[in-house]
Structure 1
Amino acid sequence: MDSEKIHRELGGLEDCSSFYGGSQTGSTCTINSTSTSATGVYWCQSESGEEYHPVNITVHYGVILESPVHPVTEGETLTLRCLHKLASPPILSADFYKDGSLVQNQTTEMIIPTVSKSHEGFYNCKHTARGESPKSWISVRESQISVLKILTSVLAACPYLLVTVVLIYKCCRMRSKTPE
C-alpha cells in the first residue's frame, strides 16, 4: 500500500509526499498545507490502477461545519459542530440551519439522536461574530434489515416455541386422564 498515489479530479496523479506538503503513513495521506484552490474531489489509486472511494474536500478559511463524510444510516445519531481554527476553543456556539431554515440556535453542537430520511439536506452553521460555514450535504441511507438476522432470530426462537407446545400438549393430556 506504500505505493498508493493520491489523485485529484482536475489535477493528476501524485505521490502523497509531494502533494501540498503531504506525508503518508501506510494508506493514510496527511495534507499539511492547503489553500482554497485545493478544493476538489480526491481519491487514492494503487499501482495497478485500482481507484478507491472518492471524497469531496472543500478548503475554506473561517467557520466550518464538522459533519460526517459518509452517508448516515437511518436510526443512527448525527452530531454536527461549528468550528473555527483560530478560536480557542475551536468549537463555537452558533445557529444551525438545514436547507436555509434555522433548526437550532446558539449551541455548540446539534445532535439528532435518531436520523431518518427526512433529515437529509444541506446544513450549515452561523456564528454572530466569526461568520457562516459553507453548506454541507448530509446524506441518509435506509437501514437494511438483514435476511440473515431475521432468519437467525426465528431459528433461535423455534426451540422455545417447540418446548412450549409440547408442554401444553402434555399438560392437556394429563388433565384429560386425571379421574374426577
Structure 2
Amino acid sequence: MGIFLKLSWFFKEQKKSYLLGIFFLTLVAILNIIPPKIIGSVVDSIQQHQMNTQKLVLYLFALVIIGIGQYLFRYFWRSYIWGSSALLEKTIRTRLVTHFATMDETFYQKYRIGDLMAHATNDITAVQQVAGIGILTFADSIITGVSTIIAMMFFVNWRLTLIAIIPLPLLAILSRTL
C-alpha cells in the first residue's frame, strides 16, 4: 500500500481517467454475468421443449450485443487505465532524465551508468505496472467478487450463496499470513 500512497499525487491528477476506467471495468463485470444466465435459459427452454427459432435468434442476438458491449467497454477501461499508467511512466522518465542532466561529473563517477540505466528501466516499469495492473487487479477483484456474489444471491439461491462465502474471511486471513 505504500507505493499507492507515494503515487497519490498522480492518482489525484488522473482521478477522472481512473474513475472512468473503473466505471467501464464495472460494466464489463456486469455484462459477464448475463451470458451464463442466457445460456441457462436456452438449456431450460430446450429441456422443457419450449425452444423455437424466434427464441433462439433472440438469445443469440442478445449474446452478440453483450459481446460487442464487452469488447467496447474493455477497450475503454484499457484506454483509461493503461493510458494513465503510460502517462505516469512518461512523467517519471522525463523527471529522471531531467534530474540526471543536472547531476555533476562526480555523481557519474560514484554511480555506474549501467546501474542507473537498469534502475531507470526496471524501477520505472515496476511503478508503471503498479499504476496499471495494480489498480486493475485491485478494482477488478472487488468488482467481480461483489457482482458475482450478488448474481449468485439473485439467480441461484441466497442461502447457498451465504454458505459459499463463509470460508472467504478465513481465506483472506490465510493469504495475508502467507
Q: Which has the higher contact order (CA 8 A, sep 6+)?
A: 2
Higher helix share: 2
TM-score (norm 1): 0.23
Pick the structure with more strand per residue. 1
